[in-house]
Amino acid sequence: MRFLYNFLTYLLLIPLAVYWISGGIVNRSYRDRLMQRFGFGFPKLQDSIWIHAVSVGEVQAAVPLIHVLMQRFPLQKIIVTTVTPTGASRVVELFGEAVVHCYMPFEFPNAIRSFFTSVKPRVAMIMETEIWPNLYRGCGVRSIPLILVSARISPKSIPGYRRLVPLIRETLSHGIIIAAQSQADASRFLELGADPERTHVTGNIKFDIEFDQAIVSRGKQLRSALFACRPVWIAVSTHRGEEQQVLEAHRILLKAHPDLLLVLVPRHPERFPEVRELIEKSSFTVVSRTSDQPATASTEVFLVNTMGEVPLFFAASDISFIGGSLVPIGGHNLLEPAIQELPIITGLYLFNTEEIAENFVKHDACVVVANGVELAAAVLVLLDDPDEATKMGKRGLKVVEQNSGSLQRLLVLLEPLLNSQAID
């Protein structure tokens, strides 16, 4: 089965090359260190601590872990790999040159071999669930300890994995430590052949999100400078097909609150021009973040067309809607607004953040809506009842606090590996 798997990966080489090269014509970020995708141009490191975070969400979840590792192992070089250019940008924004960033190569044996030859990690950590047979095997044959951090497997993915049980079982047999989000996730890994002695329930590291008072203070100042005293709701990480529903909701809301401002933050930067065009075609007056202009009394939508400023604009808003949830994307991070005690609204499509969302719903810490009309109704309730909005925000913060602690449980597994190898 491994031979068949590798044969298929090589068959995909040409389509992948065409996809990334053609993508680079439209989006210049796809050209960034393109050869790393195919196994060339990696930095030369020795005994590094390697963390793989696919995109922005995983990078954000890894922030507290990276900070702790930098404090406890100051002489150890940390390398962070991502798949998406937006994830790469977030690494640079957060850490600058304090960590090394490179792109994760495609799952070709030669590319994986080249990565390990250059980077030579001492310990590897992969955020959430990325089951890649060649990558895992590369760690195993080199005796590199590998921890799956906040590991999860959705029930929907189990049937697909079962078809590949021999390959998955062999993949999970290389001394991998699984730090599962929940007992249910741990059970699913065991069902696929994980080692019971190396499978642990540590919780979701995303709940260990760091609160930055400086960002909140800057956000309040930003609100005063840009939005004056207007009520503000924010829609973040929106996708194609979702902005139209958000704008529909805003049109309804303006009838009851003519001074209400919508702050709109699309998920992907390459869509910023497209979203601005949609706003203008929908007959809303709009100001973009990069224009450095405040929203006037006639401005109806403020478009955030920059990266890395979402926490800042959360602090400048009264109510939040988290995108990727009115369309079948699977939802995005509910914890960033919760840590700032911001009331949260989300859509029905939450399969990428199912357990976190269920926790929030269970404790009345968010509102789930099905479409733009329901979104407008939910925002209106919170605008008209600020006491309930405040209480909802406090309930959200409490959910975060009650579920934190995963990082410390992870360090119990990680530190012996680093310390023992340091002695060796």
User: Which residues are identified as catalytic?
Assistant: 58
| Neighbour-count burial for 345-379, b at 16+ CB within 10 Å, e otherwise | bbbbbbbbbebbbebbeeeebbbbbeebebbbebb
d(CA 168, CA 124): 19
Question: What tokens does 198 get?
Answer: 């190396």
